[in-house]
Structure 1
Amino acid sequence: MTPRTWDAEYDVVVVGSGAGGLSAAVTAAAEGLKVLVVEKTDRVGGSTAVSGGAVWAPLNAQTAQVGHPDTAERVRTYMRNVVGEAAPLAMQNAFLDAAPAMVAWFETHTEVKLAARTYSPDYYPDREGAALGGRSLDPLMFDGRLLDQHFRNLRDPLPEFMVLGGMMITMTDAKHLLAVTRSFKSWREGMKLVLRYFADRLRGHHRGTRLVLGNALAARLFKSALDRGVPYWLNAPLRQLHLEAGRVVGVTVVRDGQPVSIHARRGVVVATGGFPWNDSLRQAHYPKPTGPWSMVPQGNSGDGIQLAREVGATLGSGHVSPAFWTPVSILKRPDGSELRYPHLVWDRAKPGLMAVNGAGERFVNESTSYHEFVNGMYRSNKTVPTFPAFLLCDSPFMERWGLGLALPGGRPREHLVRAGYLFKADSLAALASQLGIEAAALARSAERFNHWAETGHDEDFGKGSTAYNQYLGDAEHRPNPCLGPLHQGPFYAVKVYAGDIGTALGIRCNENAQALDTQGQPITGLYAAGNDMHSVMGGQYPAPGITLGPAMTFGWIAARHLARQPA
């Protein structure tokens, strides 16, 4: 039911403040529209702010500059070889056609500055059409002080992406910090980071203001929205989409405990982050077993998707996976809360880490993508209990690389053992006993794994066999950057579960990001972006940044389409 009177009027109401929502808001404001962003939680940034921040945008203008000239034919070939028919071809093409123009537009008109990676292989580099760099871009470092008083309203990154209680670091930063006693260059870079961080804290900031990764992307989008005068309401959850004569004309949100009805003269963009924290939707659509293992903010509970369905929108179909996976280990705190650690790119590919299932047997290439690793868990679980699976390493590995929340370099970790997060034993047999695994089976797996480490060729699962594997390994290790032995106690292990970094299943849309009804017709005035939109990747994971790339692209497309609509 449409309210008789509206409490506020805007041209566009954007629901959600992640990359999809903020991209739509910034673009719509640049088009001269009056825009409002409403955010369910008390912080801006959504899951973008806690992500790695990569943006996959093939054919962007920087590809040749970083040494990887590309062609549309190669990109489409790669998409065909990875995504195939898991997503509508029209949507795939709409993304590929618009992504480079989106990057160029943001570069010219906003604070969003991205740099193409000089070397970052697509996740299936052995498939025709793959590239070794250029397609994925990272946000440039951003100075949080430029947000002024709004900095506190930006969502903090995951604790795992910070050190010293609030200093953000990249993989490159982490390598420098681990090598400060071995390299003058690393010592210099490490000292610059630490001194900047302590200066921030002395000035009263609640954390470091040197922002990187997804936090930098969210901050740059946030700053761009502020520069355009876009207001944002925090703690304003969506309660209803208003439909009038087949057109979405506004929303009702709750603000300060009261319902507020907002007229959206052009339309509404739902970008509330998908449904990882909606138990009923997860149970209905995720494979079994599943649990509360997501890495995204717990406010991402499907509000936009559910309310869009109430006004006639439909879910997508044909996907191979409802979510984008990552293995996660879980620390249970004394107060009963949980801290989830995503094993994305740091430890699994390094030489000396082995993964086994409940039978003590390897089941997957440990250095494969995080998404493919969890697919391997589900495949293994069909015949052997693999929930949880176990990541194992020995003492030299732990001291150099760490394992999950257990940090390297002799740092304290006994508290993790006491908490039941980290398992530690002087022998593999004793470790097997702690994990409930048959000792003889684990010994056989380790013996075979050690043999492959010696030969440099994993004949069972191909760990270290692709450019992507080796990119995440240890370049100084021979004969294979990803293969090393387990031979020196004490030995360590953590349990991992099938976590996710967002949903792939969402609202079915057309090439203009308009939500579609049961007849496949657009619902006038209703758009979706980010993880509320059914993924153009169909639940496949071709490369780093395939969630944020489409989120920004279709947010941009939605706003430009809205600007052409009558009020």
Structure 2
Amino acid sequence: MFKTIDAISQSARYDLIVIGSGAAGMAAALFAAIEGRKVLVVERTEYVGGTSALSAATTWMPNSHHSKTVNPDDSREKVRKFLDGVVGNHSPAAMREAFLDSAPEAVATLEANSEVKFRPYATHPDYEQQFEGATMRGRALEPVPYDGRGLGADLDKIRPPIPEFTIFGGMMVDRTDIGHLLAIRKSARSFAHTAKILAHYAGDRLKGRRGSRLVMGNALIGRFLASLNARGVDILLGTEVQDLVTENGAVTGVKLSSGGTMRQVSAACGVVLAAGGFNRHPQRRGELLPQGESHSPSAPGHTGAMQDIALRLGARLGEGNLDSAFWAPVSIRRRADGSTASFPHFVMDRSKPGTVCVDQMGRRFVNESVSYHLFARAIFEHNKTVPCIPCFIITDAVGLKKYGLGMVRMGTSNIAPYLADGYLTEGATVAELARKIGVPAANLEDTIAAMNRYAASGKDDEFGRGTTPYHRVNGDAAVGPNPTLGPIAAPPYYAVRLYPGDIGAATGLVIDEWAQVMRADGRPITGLYACGNEANSIMGGTYPGPGITIGPAITFAYRAVRHALGDAQARNAA
């Protein structure tokens, strides 16, 4: 239930106080509320949801009860081998074991006691298919769409999705919807599905409200919010944490401020930090991220302020990660209201036939079909020797119409606004396009000629595009012999600039297996927990598969609450 700070008494006492309202924070609050505890959630922005609300909210939870419905042959041993291969020594194996211990329990607990519901997708592969134990399905779950009308006015408290990920001015769609939209003229089932969601959205617009059919990240946050409301959890928006209260070295409460009003609130069992990490921290961003222009499409609340407070209490940041952030290539465009859109290029264009990505010399530097994290890492690495920030994704008239390019959606009939503001560059010939984007024409012509040869043979002799199941599933199954390769030969030609974009923090506060924040001397800070991107990633800055941030976030929220509320097994193990 949303409250103002004036409604919280100076002597207020809660069992658990949670800082941050993304998936990690809401999960921690809900797990405690399920146990009948009194919980306060503190959010510094005007919305709940954090970056989770902006994301697809894919949730990597191996061996859940859902996994068995689509991949009965998966096992903990296979998952362990996969993570050992991808992550290796970048994180302690004990943290991954704790995750595997509790992930199935966390999912089952949520689904049995709340509105939070997940479903497996028929094909949702791990990204690093070359490692033993990788699978094509079952580990990645997605939130079931949710009818937000049941939230009433609270619907407007959920952070809205990225506008460029919606259609018709605010209608949210997930990939199931997109599949039906593309097949509307071919399938009666798709026609019926499309008609239903369009009617729902039309009803919202007629009543003057935002789209209330919630999918992906908004669905997950909507389901959490409904569940927290049902259990009477107090939520403060627009409220800053000024400091943590300690007694004899243990964290026992928080000092809050909002609109000039101050409160000191007690936490009998502990405080959980889940404020999203350092991505917008004024100094730490420059200290931890690679040099070179980058953009963050994450939510604005990730200032790292809670980490600063924890560090003053003796906490420490993780070391040894492969990367300090998780990455995706993004394209940038100024919106009509003056704000900047940072659009993540996940899978909708880079792996499609008829595209190629080049550096500022007009040459390829990466397999375009690798995961978004590896793609953006490659931009930084290549930029050390050849200018590559920005790089360019290029297609032809057929590719643009059929698959789109970034914010230019497939089938867009009027591309003039994108050309006018420079987001999209057009050339009647490859040489003209090269001149307009400032790359050597001869190099770009050679690159595209090579791609056309690869499209004909089905074999990418340079980078092996389309050689793993993950590559191929993101291509176009109707195209052969390689679903990720197609000719780039139908003028005019188009390019969009791509930059590295950090989509979440990997480096964070060091925690133990029960999410206790650890001091530099190896002792826990009693009463202080961290989960989500506030905590150091158990994946060590690698990106094994879809949802490897939200899955561990929810799992360690579950473990934090078990420990904080005095679970005997958790206490004995610690």
What is the distance in 1 between the residues matched to 2:144 and 2:467? Answer: 31
- Superposed, 1:219-234 pairs within 5 Å as 219-234=222-237
Aligned to 2:240: 237
* CA drift at 1:179: 3.8
Indicate if the aligned counterparts of 1:283 and 1:290 stay in contact, CA closer than 8 A: no
Code of the residue aligned with 1:294 in structure 2: it is S
What is the distance in 1 between the residues matched to 2:204 and 2:61? Answer: 33
Match of 2:94 among 90, 99, 104: 90
Match of 2:259 among 256, 261, 271: 256
* CA drift at 1:336: 4.5
What is the distance in 2 between the residues matched to 1:175 and 1:99? Answer: 30
- Superposed, 1:240-319 pairs within 5 Å as 240-291=243-294, 293-319=295-321
* CA drift at 1:195: 1.2
Deviations 1:508-535 (A, max 9, x none): 0001100000101100010001100100
Deviations 1:172-204 (A, max 9, x none): 322332343454443333222211110122233
What is the distance in 2 between the residues matched to 1:514 and 1:109? Answer: 25
Code of the residue aligned with 2:328 in structure 1: it is T
Aligned to 1:492: 494
Indicate if the aligned counterparts of 2:293 and 2:389 stay in contact, CA closer than 8 A: no
Code of the residue aligned with 1:218 in structure 2: it is I
Indicate if the aligned counterparts of 1:200 and 1:209 stay in contact, CA closer than 8 A: yes
Q: Quick check: 1:468 aligned with 2:466?
A: no
Indicate if the aligned counterparts of 1:316 and 1:534 stay in contact, CA closer than 8 A: yes
What is the distance in 1 between the residues matched to 2:282 and 2:482? Answer: 42
What is the distance in 1 between the residues matched to 2:102 and 2:546? Answer: 18
Aligned to 1:155: 159
Aligned to 1:326: 328
Code of the residue aligned with 1:314 in structure 2: it is R
Aligned to 2:120: 116
SS at match of 2:134: coil
Indicate if the aligned counterparts of 1:86 and 1:320 stay in contact, CA closer than 8 A: yes
- Superposed, 1:525-544 pairs within 5 Å as 525-544=527-546
Code of the residue aligned with 1:35 in structure 2: it is V
* CA drift at 1:545: 0.6
Code of the residue aligned with 1:267 in structure 2: it is G
* CA drift at 1:546: 0.2
Residues matched between the structures, number: 560
Aligned to 1:438: 440
Code of the residue aligned with 2:331 in structure 1: it is S
Match of 1:202 among 198, 202, 206: 206
Indicate if the aligned counterparts of 1:266 and 1:565 stay in contact, CA closer than 8 A: no
Q: Quick check: 1:188 aligned with 2:192?
A: yes
Deviations 1:475-525 (A, max 9, x none): 111111110111011111111111021100000000110000010110001
Indicate if the aligned counterparts of 1:250 and 1:261 stay in contact, CA closer than 8 A: yes
Q: Quick check: 1:20 aligned with 2:40?
A: no
Residues 441-450 or 194-203, more deviating: 194-203
* CA drift at 1:243: 2.1
Indicate if the aligned counterparts of 1:123 and 1:369 stay in contact, CA closer than 8 A: yes
What is the distance in 1 between the residues matched to 2:397 and 2:108? Answer: 47
Aligned to 1:339: 341
What is the distance in 1 between the residues matched to 2:29 and 2:239? Answer: 16
* CA drift at 1:305: 1.2
What is the distance in 2 between the residues matched to 1:201 and 1:260? Answer: 40
Aligned to 1:100: 104
Deviations 1:411-460 (A, max 9, x none): 32211111111111111111111111000000111111111111111111
Aligned to 1:60: 64
Q: Quick check: 1:504 aligned with 2:518?
A: no
Deviations 1:103-156 (A, max 9, x none): 111111111111122211110112101111001111111110121221111111
- Superposed, 1:130-149 pairs within 5 Å as 130-149=134-153
Q: Which runs of 5+ in 1 are unaligned?
A: none
* CA drift at 1:257: 2.4
User: Structure 1 residues 157 and 334, CA, compared in 2 at 3 Å: closer, same or farther?
Assistant: closer
Indicate if the aligned counterparts of 1:12 and 1:267 stay in contact, CA closer than 8 A: yes
Aligned to 1:174: 178
Deviations 1:264-305 (A, max 9, x none): 1211101001111123111000111143x1111122111221
Aligned to 1:407: 409
Deviations 1:292-324 (A, max 9, x none): x11111221112211111211110111000001
User: Structure 1 residues 175 and 65, CA, compared in 2 at 3 Å: closer, same or farther?
Assistant: closer
What is the distance in 1 between the residues matched to 2:449 and 2:228? Answer: 56
Aligned to 2:12: 8
Aligned to 1:361: 363
What is the distance in 2 between the residues matched to 1:160 and 1:67? Answer: 34
Deviations 1:456-475 (A, max 9, x none): 11111111111111111111
Aligned to 2:450: 448
Indicate if the aligned counterparts of 1:67 and 1:118 stay in contact, CA closer than 8 A: no
Residues 269-278 or 189-198, more deviating: 189-198
Deviations 1:18-68 (A, max 9, x none): 111011001111222211001011111111111111110111112221134
Compute the TM-score of the two structures, normalised by the length of structure 2.
Answer: 0.95
* CA drift at 1:335: 5.7
Residues 297-306 or 492-501, more deviating: 297-306
SS at match of 2:455: helix
Q: Quick check: 1:554 aligned with 2:556?
A: yes
SS at match of 1:500: strand
Deviations 1:368-406 (A, max 9, x none): 110010111112112101100100000001111110111
* CA drift at 1:228: 1.1
User: Structure 1 residues 65 and 179, CA, compared in 2 at 3 Å: closer, same or farther?
Assistant: closer
User: Structure 1 residues 410 and 265, CA, compared in 2 at 3 Å: closer, same or farther?
Assistant: closer
Match of 2:519 among 517, 520, 523: 517
Indicate if the aligned counterparts of 1:53 and 1:214 stay in contact, CA closer than 8 A: yes
SS at match of 1:241: strand
Code of the residue aligned with 2:175 in structure 1: it is M
Match of 2:217 among 214, 217, 232: 214
Aligned to 2:571: none
Residues 321-330 or 377-386, more deviating: 377-386
* CA drift at 1:353: 1.1
What is the distance in 1 between the residues matched to 2:131 and 2:93? Answer: 19
User: Structure 1 residues 397 and 183, CA, compared in 2 at 3 Å: closer, same or farther?
Assistant: farther
